[in-house]
């Protein structure tokens, strides 16, 4: 084992990996017991959080850990350094997260034939799953989606609830209550709540 403290090794590994890693994966590459890794990850998370003026944070999402830029810092980064989705894909991804499991046919109904391209691009980016259901497909978000949007959950129901709360708290629905137009289709086909969207330019 290395003479370098485990916390330091974990920080360097996650920084260079650029993706989330499970304790078992970190245990395997670093040669430490998984219990030691989990304990050190928790300590590292607290250590990084206490750093004065720090720009990074350690987050645990669905059993995997990652290092990312703090949200309050990310908002000030130059645009070219961000991996934001194009507006057309962001709209489609947001609708899927808000209404998942969303029938592909429903998204096409809302966005038109171009939705097929959006779905394909989102799937290729690993942001959504497509599960065949009769003549259509059910669209749901993935772990990668949670990581990109900073969601602490990977379970689709929890992601859906978290995303809806974020939409409401961000004020995206302010002034739109009377024009709610997007019906929420449940798994059994019943129609629930609604959300408005604007037509894409």
Question: Does the pLDDT at position 101 exceed 70?
Answer: yes
Is 201 within a domain?
A: no
Q: Which of 45, 28, 27 has the alpha carbon at shortest distance from 36?
A: 27
Indicate the residue among 23, 41, 74 that finishes a domain: 74
pLDDT tens digits, one per residue of 82-98: 556 777 788 888 888 88
Instruction: Tell whether 144 and 190 lie within a shared domain.
Output: yes
Q: For position 2, what pLDDT does the model report?
A: 60
Burial class (CB in 10 A: 0-12, 13-18, 19+), 21: buried
Is 82 within a domain?
A: no
Indicate the residue among 15, 39, 74 that finishes a domain: 74
pLDDT band at 192 (very low <50, low <70, confident <90, very high): very low
Instruction: Tell whether 144 and 175 lie within a shared domain.
Output: yes
Indicate the residue among 45, 74, 103 that finishes a domain: 74
Mean of pLDDT over the chain: 76
Q: For residue 141, give its domain range.
A: 87-195
Contact 107, 93 (CB under 8 A): no
pLDDT tens digits, one per residue of 123-150: 878 888 888 888 888 999 988 888 887 7
Question: Does the pLDDT at position 76 exceed 70?
Answer: no
Taking CA atoms, 61 is separated from 73, 154, 190, in Å, by: 20, 7, 31
Instruction: Tell whether 191 and 106 lie within a shared domain.
Output: yes
pLDDT band at 72 (very low <50, low <70, confident <90, very high): low
Q: What pTM value is reported for the model?
A: 0.51
Residues whose CB is less than 8 angstroms from the CB of residue 25 and which lie 6 or more positions away in sequence, other chains included: none
Please, what sign has the CA dihedral across residues 80, 64, 146, 68? negative
């Amino acid at each position: 084992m290395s003479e370098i403290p485990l916390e330091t090794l974990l920080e360097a590994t996650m920084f260079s990996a650029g993706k989330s890693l499970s304790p078992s994966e970190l245990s395997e590459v670093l040669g430490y017991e998984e219990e030691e890794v989990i304990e050190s990850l928790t300590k590292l998370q607290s250590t990084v959080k206490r750093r004065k003026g720090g720009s990074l944070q350690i987050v645990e999402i669905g059993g995997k850990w990652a290092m990312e830029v703090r949200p309050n810092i990310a908002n000030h980064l130059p645009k070219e350094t961000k991996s934001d989705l194009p507006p057309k894909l962001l709209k489609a991804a947001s609708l899927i997260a808000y209404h998942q499991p969303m029938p592909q046919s429903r998204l096409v109904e809302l966005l038109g034939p171009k939705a097929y391209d959006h779905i394909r691009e989102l799937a290729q980016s690993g942001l959504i799953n497509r599960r065949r259901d009769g003549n259509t497909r059910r669209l749901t978000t993935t772990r990668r989606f949670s990581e990109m949007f900073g969601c602490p959950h990977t379970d689709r129901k929890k992601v859906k609830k978290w995303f809806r709360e974020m939409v409401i708290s961000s004020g995206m629905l302010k002034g739109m209550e009377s024009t709610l137009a997007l019906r929420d289709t449940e798994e059994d086909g019943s129609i629930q709540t609604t959300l408005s969207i604007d037509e894409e330019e």
